[in-house]
A and B are shown apart, each in its own frame.
Chain A
Amino acid sequence: EAEVAQSPRYKITEKSQAVAFWCDPISGHATLYWYRQILGQGPELLVQFQDESVVDDSQLPKDRFSAERLKGVDSTLKIQPAELGDSAMYLCASSLPRTVSTDTQYFGPGTRLTVL
């Protein structure tokens, strides 16, 4: 069964450092999501891509976070500089094109970020 790949699985960094997360969606899935999940809360959507275009990044803290999906396949989420409050699980998900689906999302294993 095809899966969403994410790396690294765990990342420990010091505040003010830069971090980057990578996601490879399921082949053929045009829609890609980055979520942040703080312990005990539901996932919070940071950015949604349709192919290489951003559909929604209204919750992305753009002063320190950036996301790209240059060729419409894999994606990178970057934080610079990292702050203590960024410690969370970062989840990537993908789904079939919006026009032909109800957005059933398939999630990767996530990256656990700890900022010291």
Chain B
Amino acid sequence: LAKTTQPISMDSYEGQEVNITCSHNNIATNDYITWYQQFPSQGPRFIIQGYKTKVTNEVASLFIPADRKSSTLSLPRVSLSDTAVYYCLVLPYGGAGNNRKLIWGLGTSLAVNP
């Protein structure tokens, strides 16, 4: 599985846009990029997934440059309730398995301040 690198923590204020970047230098051709959000004492929750360029949903946007070696999760106008840990994962179409290990890193702990 492609190794990912994210900042350990970030701070922001309510109403600001937050961008969290993930590096995945050895991403493979059939790999997708997926972001999850996790609140304390809860299971992770799927936020967004993409393969290239830009993907937007009601929660976030995901920007992926042409070389796909990194991706940026963008959270518009964050609120206190966006305080959580955000994980970036790179997974092949068809899922992990067949010697592709599913590895979650430490994620990025985002703190949104009033």
Q: How close is B105's CB to chain A, nearest CB, in angstroms?
A: 5
When A56-B96, A95-B95, A101-B95 are in contact, do A44 and B43 touch as well, CB less than 8 Å? no
A104 near B49 with CB under 8 A, answer yes
Interface size class of B (residues with CB under 8 A): 20 to 34
Contact indicator per residue, chain B 71-104, by CB within 8 Å of chain A (1) or not (0):
0000000000000000100011111110001111
* A89 contacts the other chain (CB 8 A): yes
- Determine the chain A residues whose CB is within 8 A of the CB of B106 once the complex forms: 40-42
* A108 contacts the other chain (CB 8 A): yes
For B100, the closest partner residue in chain A by CB is A56
Q: How close is A102's CB to chain B, nearest CB, in angstroms?
A: 4
* Count of A interface residues, CB-CB < 8 Å: 32
Q: How close is A96's CB to chain B, nearest CB, in angstroms?
A: 9
A105 near B46 with CB under 8 A, answer yes
Give the CA-CA distance A89 to B70 in the complex, in Å. 30
* A48 contacts the other chain (CB 8 A): yes
B93 near A45 with CB under 8 A, answer no
A-B contact pairs, 30 of them (CB 8 A): A35-B104, A40-B106, A41-B106, A42-B87, A42-B105, A43-B44, A43-B104, A45-B102, A45-B103, A48-B97, A48-B102, A56-B97, A56-B102, A98-B94, A98-B97, A99-B94, A101-B95, A102-B92, A102-B94, A102-B95, A103-B34, A103-B91, A103-B94, A103-B96, A103-B102, A104-B46, A105-B36, A105-B46, A107-B43, A112-B41
User: CB within 8 Å of B: which residues of A?
Assistant: 4, 31, 33, 35, 40-45, 48, 50, 55-56, 58, 89, 91, 93, 95, 98-99, 101-110, 112
